[in-house]
Amino acid sequence: MPVKKIRIGILSSGGDCAGINPAIKWVVKTALDERVRAERGIHYEVVGIKDGWEGLVQPVPAPEYLISLDPEVVRTWDRYGGTMLGTSRTNPYDPKNDRSRLVLNNIDKLGLDVLIAVGGDDTMGVAHKLGTEGINVIGIPKTIDKDLCETDYTLGFETAVDVITQEVDRLRTTAGSHKRIFVVETMGRHAGWLALEGGESSGAYIILIPEHDFSVDKVNELVLEGRRAGTRYDIILAAEGAKPAGSAEFTREERLDAFGHKMLGGIGEFLARQIEDGTGLETRSVVLSHLQRGGAPCAYDRRMGRYFGIAAVDLVNMRDFGKMVCYRDGRMTTCALEKVVGRLKQVDVTRLYDVERYNGRRTILTPDYAHREESGTGKC
């Protein structure tokens, strides 16, 4: 029986983070596994496309943007952060510079049967549009913001939380030495998952998220309350998209990127000034910025990258395109890209956030917990 040949293209787009390389590695290792090929009667070839969508908007397929991937090439990739293929924030469908036709032409010229895109909402949006134009696309979720709908996890998040925790641990020594308050600004444009879970992990005193506008007076009141209780210093975490009630988001630049986003930043510095002026306590701000994206992937991101990569190849084998692989309710699954694009998964304030303490909830078990236990509806 003749062996069917399928050529897979893979790229990473948007912000870099830990977990991308493990996903790419396991797409390659799974697709080119000899046993899998023998069982399925399919011969795969995997082509890495460098610098995200930038690698596909060239006038002709540019060799410098392409790399042939095999198990030996990607053997050690899962140990490293960032993306070995490179990335960019290029938008082929940018209304001011639409180059989508170049992408379609290059996919055709390169003979790509399938395109796997690793990225966040913007990347999935481009992939979905290509899918509506007849391209076989599959998405792998990646964003440290963990704000993609339909999946409980996105690559890079847990490593970024680890970084926040480590950096706050370092700040504690200088904060305690000088009796200072530190306001730590994290990423998180519209979703506060990084600030919330990073703050919970590091034991931050106050956590401010985009989903709930805060009162500066209340923040100052909480700070003074802590000092009266005997605290020597405090750590406050604020997502870049957090803002005082009645105020707009803080921006570093008004210009928009190719996907129409402003560059946020400045809430940490603003809040530090407000706290110092309002309480008289020495307050400093620290912006973690791209530190949160850097470093080697933690164990969880290495495993999840593996699972997402394998699941993506499963979709190729089943010829089930226009999907994003997902992790939901403790298992790997998939969803249609159209269900992901344009929707954000934000923190459920009612369930997860204490609006009085400006911190994570101190109640976890829901009111129906006892009823579920008595009725035996829980599953082992």
CA distances from 228 to 139, 151, 329 (A): 51, 43, 43
Dihedral sign computed on CA atoms, order 149, 80, 258, 251: positive
C-beta separation of 5 from 47 below 8 A: no
* Close Cβ partners of 172 (under 8 Å, ≥ 6 residues apart): 233, 235
Beta strand extents in the chain (DSSP E only) = 4-12, 42-49, 66-69, 114-119, 137-141, 181-186, 206-208, 234-239, 251-256, 262-264, 283-287, 323-328, 331-336, 353-354, 359-360
Does 145 participate in catalysis according to the annotation?
A: yes
Beta strand pairing call for 66-69 and 42-49:
antiparallel
Residue 186, classed as helix, strand or coil, is strand
Burial 341-368 (b: 16+ CB within 10 A, else e): beeebbbeeeebbeeeebbbbeeeeeee
Measured at the CA of 187, the angle between CA 185 and CA 191, to 5 degrees, comes to 115
Distance CA 342, CA 360 (A): 27
* Amino acid code (one letter) for 251: T
Quote the radius of gyration of the chain (alpha carbons, Å): 23
Catalytic residue among 113, 121, 145, 301: 145
Measured at the CA of 115, the angle between CA 109 and CA 121, to 5 degrees, comes to 130
Active site residues: 145
